[in-house]
Amino acid sequence: MSEPKAPTPAPGDTYKGWLFKWTNYIKGYQRRWFVLSNGLLSYYRTQAEMGHTCRGTINLATANIAVEDSCNFVISNGGTQTYHLKASSEVERQRWITALELAKAKAFRMQAESDDSGDDSTSPGGGQGSGSRNSEVQSTLRTLGSKVEDLSTCNDLIAKHGSALQRSLSELEGVRLGGETSEKIRQVTERATLFRITSNAMINACRDFLALAQAHSKRWQKALQAEREQRVRLEETLEQLAKQHNHLERAFRGATVLPSSKSNPAIDSKGPVPVKGDVSDEDEENEFFDACEDVQEFITVPADPKYHRRSGSNVSGISSELGMDDGTTSLDEQSLGSNPESPQSREVVPVRKRRSRIPDKPNYSLNLWSIMKNCIGKELSKIPMPVNFNEPLSMLQRLSEDLEYYELLDRGAKCQSSLEQMCYVAAFTVSSYSTTVHRTGKPFNPLLGETFELDRGQESGYRSLCEQVSHHPPAAAHHAISERGWTLRQEIALASKFRGKYLSIMPLGSIHCIFEKSNNHYTWKKVTTTVHNIIVGKLWIDQSGEIDVVNHRTGDRCHLKFAPYSYFSRDVARKVTGVVTDKDGKAHYVLSGTWDEKMECSRVMQSSRGGENGTDGRQKTVYQTLKAKELWRKTPLPEGAENMYYFSTLALTLNEPEEGVAPTDSRRRPDQRLMEQGRWEEANAEKQRLEEKQRTVRREREREANHNGSPAEEVKEPADKALIEDSISDSPLKTEEVEIASEPSETTYKSGHQDNYKPMWFERQVDPMTGEPTHIYRGGYWEAKEQGNWDSCPDIF
């Protein structure tokens, strides 16, 4: 791969050879010709380019050299230049490391000598600090020089006395035993004593020299590192100050507060991103847009000090300054730090002690390709997908996990201002994704008619009910009502697209939140969930897209943007930003945070357009805001969660057996219960039995519909297709072709369900707010539970 060189080339030699250099995620490592000369490492595409085109050069005097593994190493100058290199073998890598270290040491010495000569040529009127440092360095060098002279003297003495001792020993061997024996032995003893004394002196001198060298070497290294870090900090601070100054100048020149449209005033824009490697790399290697970094849609700066006249007063003073003297409750007064009902301060005494653990997940290995290989030649409808891909919860239970942070809706119900209430609703919207960050397991697909109740009336003030209302397309309806003044309902169907490396899951349907006191009705939709590394690698989940939370009574709107993860992004991962506007499009609050940790809001005091940004001439909105207030923070996972499917505290209790629930409740599902207990083989067999039972019931229902002349005949699907869909819809890997048969499109979802099944607790209506057909809770479930009368429930398990 590289030219054969000596393992430790001299510092002044020119070292050349082939190495692999990282370019980007499209092309990966590319073969390049590297030349090390005079403390500079340069590279070319080919040896022929050495005479005319250099692709990049890095100065080793200020560079850091780090070894990653047996063949990989990294060279970085702490700034924009970073080379990720790979040698053909460990021996070749070590040759390059040795050559680079020697060249770096020589370049550093040459730079230090140049600095010293520059200091000597300066006038004596320089600063006292530099003069004292130079005198200290000179004194240390003189001390080290004297120690070296002592070592040289001791070395000469050791050589002299060692030679004399050797001669005496030689003479002693040739002496006969007699009168002169004692004289020779005495001479040998004396010379051995002199050699020992000289050796001890040598050892002591070496010890002193080593201690002195180590002490000053560490001191100088720390000083050098401190100087480098301070320089980097100063450069970053200067860059930030320059940007802020530029934005403030543009905002000042803008001078006016701009009323924006009802939609989000910010405009999406994409910009170039730095890649892994240095910016001087060839252009053709940077022509890709797979992981572009999103440019922030707006800029927030601290508000003018005039908005903080009462700097020492409590937060209620801010409300009075903003014209909120009418007794209304402000968002600042309801911040987590002061809210008596916040999770940190409120003590919830549960009626019953919920479980805090489930059996640990068994460590069963699973090879996806071995499963697919064993299915070759089998009928598609007979391919069972094992529970190894699942987690011991159903999709209905996962849907109920949206209520993990119900306190946000409790606090929103107390708000007098619809804009402040919007902030809490938006935070609740984001919080529902916090439980998914590590949850790579697939929930069980609910059987048609399966239900799940979550009764937390006495503990948390709400009751929740989910039901699987359709099988083709799969759809689940959810209804939750709280005695603290809010109702949440939704119907969600899932569409998925398998793209080879990742699986995109797109929820269809709207979520409704209604507050009784104010009659505010909010709606929003969910963003796209992407599961990466489906085939090879460790699974990880990302959320991306945009959400518009709309208050249909007032016209208020919150536009939330979930930034997709990018390896090259300088922004925080899993970032969420948003702006709360009124019906006229005027911004009142800015939201920021991450969907897996926390959300904050800042009140907007003034907004204006900045200057042009980027080459496309688009402008950003500059918001002057007050100090951010925390709306929501994720509760840490329980201890040992990594062995319990990364379940949250609420998720651990969802499948806990309870008395009095309906016979169709997910807690009674046998295959799910067996999987939770670690009996996966039995769970697989039970899962296959339930799927076959569901197919049989569906065929029977279709026959009855045909016999009765039901309108379902018009949309009736072939039995074979139904069988195929039943099996494939439970598979975590759906190809594009399968998707056409098994996944609902937006048009299909809105036009109507193709199954003639009528749900037990929900009825299909046209939503008056969105105009979409949806299932709304008809009532009767909780009354049937109180009476213990479940005679009308089907036997699905």
Does the pLDDT at position 630 exceed 80?
A: yes
Contact 65, 57 (CB under 8 A): no
pLDDT at residue 617, as a whole number: 56
Give residue 232's region: left, alpha or beta (phi > 0; psi -120 to 50): alpha
158 vs 305, higher pLDDT: 158
The rounded distance, in Å, linking the Cα atoms of 209 and 197 is 18
Residue 70: predicted pLDDT:
78
For range 295-322, the mean pLDDT = 49
Q: What is the mean pLDDT of residues 488-505?
A: 86
Q: Distance (Å, rounded) from C-alpha 8 to C-alpha 5? A: 8
Assigned token pair, 331: 């968002």
Q: What is the reported pLDDT for 264? A: 42
Tokens found for residue 706: 């045909």
| 3-class SS letters over 334-364 | HCCCCCCCCCCCCCCCCCCCCCCCCCCCCCC
The neighbouring-strand residues paired with 220 are none
Q: Element (H or E) spanning 587, and its range?
A: strand 587-594
Least reliable range by pLDDT among 115-119, 165-169, 447-451, 716-720: 716-720
Alpha-carbon separation of residue 790 from 18, 465, 660 (angstroms): 76, 15, 10
Determine phi and psi for 725, rounding to 5 degrees.
-65, -40
> Nearest to residue 22, comparing CAs of 64, 63, 59, 73?
73
CA dihedral of residues 99, 53, 25, 22 (deg, nearest 10): 0
| Among the listed residues 175, 772, 668, the one whose alpha carbon sits nearest the alpha carbon of residue 444 | 668
Mean pLDDT for 474-492 is 94
Of the pLDDT bands very low, low, confident and very high (cuts 50, 70, 90), residue 313 is very low
CA 680 to each of CA 361, 498, 657, 669: distance values in angstroms, whole numbers, following the listed order: 10, 26, 19, 14
Q: Tokens 């071995």, residue?
A: 370
**Better-scored residue on pLDDT, 17 or 711:** 17
What is the per-residue pLDDT for 153?
Answer: 75
Distance CA 668, CA 452 (A): 10
Range with the poorest average pLDDT among 24-38, 211-225, 392-406, 691-705: 211-225
Give the pairing of strands 298-302 and 618-625: parallel
Please report where in the chains the tokens 């050797």 appear, as a residue. Answer: 166
First to last CA, the chain: 64
> What one-character DSSP code corresponds to residue 561?
E
3-state secondary structure of 244: helix
Instruction: Give residue-wise pLDDT tens across range 341-352.
Output: 444 444 545 467
**pLDDT band, very low/low/confident/very high, at 732 (cuts 50, 70, 90):** very low
What percent of the chain stands above pLDDT 70?
72
Please check the confidence at residue 546 and state whether its pLDDT lies above 50: yes
| Tens digit of each residue's pLDDT (9 = 90 or more) over 592-603 | 999 999 999 999
Residue 658 has pLDDT above 80, yes or no: yes
The predicted pLDDT at position 606 comes to: 86
Q: Is residue 44 within 8 Å of 18, Cβ to Cβ?
A: no
* Averaged pLDDT, 122-139: 55
**pLDDT classification of 635: cutoffs 50, 70, 90:** very high
pLDDT of residue 368: 60
Contact 421, 434 (CB under 8 A): no
Contact, 257 vs 63, CB < 8 A? no
Give me the helix-helix angle, 128-174 and 181-254, nearest 10°: 160
Residues 6+ apart with CB under 8 A from 710: 704, 756
579 contacts 590 by C-beta, under 8 angstroms: yes
**Cα 297 from chain centre:** 21
Q: Could you give the CA distance from residue 337 to residue 789 in angstroms, rounded to a whole number?
A: 46
Lowest mean pLDDT of 132-146, 157-171, 252-266, 363-377, name the range.
Answer: 252-266
pTM over 0.85: no
Spatial contact of 742 and 727, defined as CB atoms under 8 Å apart: no
340 has pLDDT over 50: no
Of 204-208, 667-671, 743-747, which has the strongest mean pLDDT? 667-671
pLDDT 10s digits, 735-758:
333 333 344 555 444 444 445 788
- Provide the token pair at 718: 């072939």
Nearest to 79 by CA among 345, 272, 379, 279: 279
Contact yes or no for 565/574 (Cβ under 8 A): yes
What are 1's two structure tokens? 């791969």
Average pLDDT over residues 681-691: 90
217, containing H or E segment:
helix 181-254
Under 8 Å between Cβ of 662 and 781: yes
Cis peptide before 11 (omega within 30 of 0): no
